[in-house]
């Protein structure tokens, strides 16, 4: 971690006509509907910045991203290129079509004010968390606590060791690294640019994300 931040805003991982290009400030939340066939590139602008992410069928948000269905269907705990991000009905919501780091996480969940008290102590209860970002961003779309389920963490590194030990460790990403996901149906995407300051998921230094949607 250095105080002189190196930022790389990069460009779409998949070429196409740009239909949306947003910059997400550190600690902030973001949402958009990505139309079927469009590709969302997420740029890790500052390097090792976790982008916590939830997906919903835009036409019926009762159908939403499901970690267990995604993992059981592919028989593997990690998200990589070609991983199909499935719903709680087993249907494809999005597919990873490009990925510039070894693997992406979907087992580490989101940070929250409450879970921070368990991990670090009650003195960090006042810190901001991804669950709070999801709630305020989700509220714009009529979503609430009942709609929060286990999520994706773009650019976060959560290995599972042989004895089942699991945890958030130093990231494998770098400024300008990208992941690209294609919408398989119209998908509402919620993102929390993780504000966590107590573990390495953001290199202890939250940085921006860039969200680019293209029509290939």
Partner 1 sequence: MTDSVLNARADARARGGQTSEWMPYLPASSSPYRPLGVEALTWAETVAPGGYTHKVLARGTRIRFDDPTGDACAHVIVYNALETVERLNVADTVKIPWQAYLGAGHPLLSGDGRVLATIVEDTSGHHDAFCGTTTEAWNQRKYGDARPEGPSPAGRSLFVKAAAKHGLAPRDLPPSVSFFQGIRVDADGAFEWRGSAGEGTSVELLAELPLLILVANVPHPLDPRPDYVAGPLRVHAWRSAPTGPDDDRFQATPEAHRAYLNTIDYAEARGL
- Which parts of this chain interact with Zn ion (CB under 5 A)? 111, 130, 194, 196
Strand order in the sheet with 84-86: 17-24, 209-215, 39-44, 177-183, 92-99, 84-86
Q: Which residues pair with 98 in a beta bridge?
A: 180
Partner that binds at residue 94, options partner 1, Zn ion, none, CB closer than 5 to 8 Å by kind: none
Question: Shortest distance, CB of residue 16 to partner 1, whole angstroms?
Answer: 30
Closer to partner 1 by Cβ: residue 1 or 164: 164
In angstroms, give the least distance from the CB of 147 to partner 1: 6
> If DSSP codes are grouped into helix, strand and coil, which group holds residue 200?
helix
Q: Across the chain, which distance is largest between two alpha carbons, in Å?
A: 48
Nearer to partner 1, 36 or 160 (CB): 160
Q: What does 186 interact with, of partner 1, Zn ion, none (CB < 5 to 8 A by kind)?
A: none
Task: Provide the binding-site residues for partner 1, judged by CB under 8 A.
Answer: 61-62, 64, 66-69, 71-73, 75-78, 88-91, 103, 107-110, 112-115, 117-119, 121-122, 131, 144-151, 158, 160, 162-168
Our CB check for partner 1 shows the closer of 20 and 149 to be 149
User: What length does the chain have?
Assistant: 216
Going by C-alpha positions, the residue among 128, 85, 136 that lies closest to residue 106 is 85
Q: With contact defined as beta carbons under 8 Å apart, do 27 and 206 qualify?
A: yes
**Residue 196 binding target from Zn ion, partner 1, none, CB below 5 to 8 Å by type:** Zn ion
Give residue for tokens 């209860």: 125
């Amino acid at each position: 971690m250095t105080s002189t931040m190196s930022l790389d805003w990069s460009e779409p991982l998949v070429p196409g006509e740009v239909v949306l290009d947003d910059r997400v400030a550190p600690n902030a939340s973001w949402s958009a509907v990505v139309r079927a066939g469009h590709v969302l590139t997420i740029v890790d602008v500052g390097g090792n910045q976790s982008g916590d992410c939830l997906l919903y069928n835009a036409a019926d948000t009762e159908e939403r991203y499901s970690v267990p269905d995604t993992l059981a269907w592919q028989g593997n705990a990690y998200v990589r290129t070609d991983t199909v991000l499935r719903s709680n009905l087993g249907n494809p919501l999005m597919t990873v079509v490009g990925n510039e780091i070894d693997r992406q996480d979907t087992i580490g969940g989101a940070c929250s004010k409450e879970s921070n008290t368990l991990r670090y102590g009650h003195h960090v209860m006042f810190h901001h968390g991804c669950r709070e970002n999801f709630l305020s961003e989700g509220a714009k779309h009529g979503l609430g606590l009942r709609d929060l389920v286990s999520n994706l963490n773009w650019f976060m590194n959560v290995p599972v060791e042989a004895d089942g030990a699991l945890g958030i460790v130093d990231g494998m990403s770098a400024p300008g690294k990208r992941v690209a996901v294609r919408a398989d149906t119209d998908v509402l995407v919620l993102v929390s640019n993780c504000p966590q300051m107590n573990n390495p998921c953001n290199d202890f230094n939250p940085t921006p994300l860039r969200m680019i949607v293209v029509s290939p």
